[in-house]
Amino acid sequence: MSVIYLKSAYDAPSETVAKAAAEGLIVIVEQTDLTGERLLASRGLVTGNQLDQNAMLGMREALAAFLDGGGRWFFNGHIVRPLLDGMAQYRPIDTPRRADFVLTSINPHSIFAGIDLAQIETNKGVAGFYGRGCNPLPEGAVAVNGLGEAQVPVDWVWARPGGGRVFSHAGNDLGAMGQDWGLAPELTQRILDWAGGAPCLDPARVGFADPAGGRELEAPEDFGGSKSATAKSRRIVAPSAGSY
């Protein structure tokens, strides 16, 4: 059993991902080629912030069964379509200021061990790429990193009651952070390792956080999707728009 790196974007995977695939440690799968059988035969899944969540709704039952069997899912991006029971739609920080993007640790996690969070808080000196809100914590999930004084839980890990674990990073792909310090390859490797079964925190030994942090958050947006449209009209398509 291996880890699936699900390719949803046009761009080629990073060198770190390509190297892991060449060594047989992971399998790169185009999202259009993913099947329930293939997912259930894997131990881990890594998805990027350009995941087609509408299409992934068709994999909802298989995704739950994959996790029930002990699988791990590393999710990058904003939850637009809650793909598991217990998940909720992304909530952005209301009228954020620079201080709201300061990244701090809430509970230590192996993915960030030895990494100065200030070095992944910005990319090219600009804050906000890491995250600007949170995917609200499911019941029993543990916050890992928080944003601002309120420590809005931008990163969390969830040991599901039915089995398996989900790591949520509510921002641009975590494996692309820390580029100014050359940390992106190391973060990517740690994500792949975690999805494959590397050590994770113990929820019984950590502190919990408010599901949305203490900071005021905006209400979830309404994404009806193309099938919900009541009239046909011209549309603008913006590919590779990212999380924001």
- pLDDT at residue 199, rounded to an integer: 78
| pLDDT of residue 236 exceeding 70 | no
User: Residue 29, SS3?
Assistant: strand
Instruction: Residue 145: name the closest of 178, 122, 111, 185 by CA.
Output: 111
- pLDDT at residue 160, rounded to an integer: 96
- pLDDT at residue 151, rounded to an integer: 94
When pLDDT is cut at 50, 70 and 90, the band that residue 202 belongs to is low
Q: Long-range contacts: 57-64, Cβ < 8 Å, 24+?
A: 57/81, 57/83, 59/34, 59/83, 60/84, 61/36, 62/35, 62/36, 63/39, 64/162
- pLDDT at residue 118, rounded to an integer: 96
| pLDDT of residue 214 exceeding 70 | no
| Owner of token pair 């309120």 | 150
- pLDDT at residue 123, rounded to an integer: 87
65-74 pLDDT, tens digit per residue, is: 999 999 999 9
8-65 pLDDT, tens digit per residue, is: 999 999 999 999 999 999 999 999 999 999 999 999 999 999 999 999 999 999 999 9
Q: Which is higher by pLDDT, 38 or 125?
A: 38
Q: Which of 139-143, 155-159, 183-187, 202-206 has the lowest mean pLDDT?
A: 202-206
Q: Which is higher by pLDDT, 193 or 222?
A: 193
Q: Which is higher by pLDDT, 213 or 84?
A: 84
Q: What residues have CB less than 8 Å from 78, skipping those under 6 apart?
A: 49, 90, 133, 135, 170, 243
* Structural domains of the chain sorted by starting position, each given as residue range(s) with its CATH number in brackets: 3-228 (3.40.50)
Task: Evaluate whether 143 touches 156 at the Cβ level (below 8 Å).
Answer: yes
The phi, psi pair for 4, rounded to 5°, reads: -95, 125
Cα–Cα distance, 103 to 120 (Å, whole number): 8
| Owner of token pair 């009541």 | 230
Q: What residues have CB less than 8 Å from 20, skipping those under 6 apart?
A: 5, 26, 189, 192
Task: Evaluate whether 111 touches 190 at the Cβ level (below 8 Å).
Answer: yes
